[in-house]
A and B are shown apart, each in its own frame.
Chain A
């Protein structure tokens, strides 16, 4: 399959922990990567590989995976974490190497 499925919207209380999920057959083989996108801005990579954060990404962001589901966890969500989050991975179908999820809008209450 060439699809990654995300919940359209998730909310979290300020300071609490939230998990954003991404489901797809390709995740049984490949790691998901996660991107944060704020309005009017380009996406920013926040998690890649097994659980790696690029320089400058706070350690409250972490990644995990089980079976066909990858998760992005924000531990102690901050107001500035309110954004759209996208997952992506390699594609197992052989037709195209990259597939993106539909995105999750995170609201921090």
Chain B
């Protein structure tokens, strides 16, 4: 059974960089069949895909966040990471990591981490 677990600070100061890591267990992050993604959900609001990465390092970023986002992968540790720079209170959210199928006709996330709340506050 695949398991994803987010880790990182729960509190980040405004203008600093948010850093999270997702550790994948029960399967290989180097599978050719999947992308790995970060999705966030501000309190009381909907889901927003931040971006995805393939094990080769190829990335896709949400255009609204692209200038501040870096997603990277470490296949030796079976992990992928998120960095979001210059954060503001608007970046306060639950951050999820998830696995996305490489289906040509859809974009479904079939396994999700439990999520981690990141609060931006001084």
Say yes or no: A54 contacts B110, CB within 8 Å: yes
Among A68-108, those with CB < 8 Å from B are 86, 88-91, 95-103
Residues in A whose Cβ lies below 8 Å from that of B100: 98
Segment of B8-16, B26-34, B60-68 engaged in the interface with chain A: B60-68
User: Does A32 count as interface, using CB distance less than 8 angstroms?
Assistant: yes
A29, B101: Cα distance in complex, Å: 17
Q: Which residue of B lies closest to A89 (CB)?
A: B107
A89 near B48 with CB under 8 A, answer no
Question: Is residue A45 contacting chain B, with contact meaning CB distance below 8 A?
Answer: yes
In-complex Cβ contact of A45 among B37, B48, B108, B114 (8 A): B108
CB distance from B10 to the nearest CB of A (A): 16
Q: Within the complex, which residue of B51, B52, B108, B114 is in contact with A48, where a contact is CB–CB below 8 Å? A: B108
Q: Tell me which residues across on chain A come within 8 A of B108, comparing CB atoms.
A: 33, 45, 48-49, 88
Is B103 in the interface zone, CB < 8 Å from A?
A: yes
Residue from A32, A45, A96, A102 in contact with B110 in the complex, judged by beta carbons closer than 8 Å: A45
How many CB-defined contacts (below 8 Å) exist between A and B? 75
For the complex, count residues of B whose C-beta is within 8 A of A: 26
Whether B122 sits at the interface, judged by CB under 8 Å, is no
Q: How far is the CA of A43 from the CA of B37 in the complex (A)?
A: 14
Does B48 contact A100, Cβ atoms closer than 8 Å? Answer: yes
The docked-state distance in angstroms from the alpha carbon of A45 to that of B107 is 11
Contacts of B112 in A (CB 8 A): 42-44
The residues of B that contact A97 with a CB separation of less than 8 Å are 52, 60, 107
Q: Among B61, B63, B105, point to the contact of A30 (Cβ < 8 A).
A: B105
Whether A30 pairs with B106 at a CB distance below 8 angstroms is yes
A31 contacts B by Cβ under 8 Å: yes
Identify which of B62, B105, B114 contacts A96 (C-beta below 8 A): B62
Further pairs besides A29-B105, A98-B100: 13, Cβ < 8 Å: A31-B105, A33-B106, A42-B113, A45-B109, A45-B110, A49-B108, A86-B46, A88-B109, A90-B107, A96-B60, A97-B52, A100-B48, A100-B49
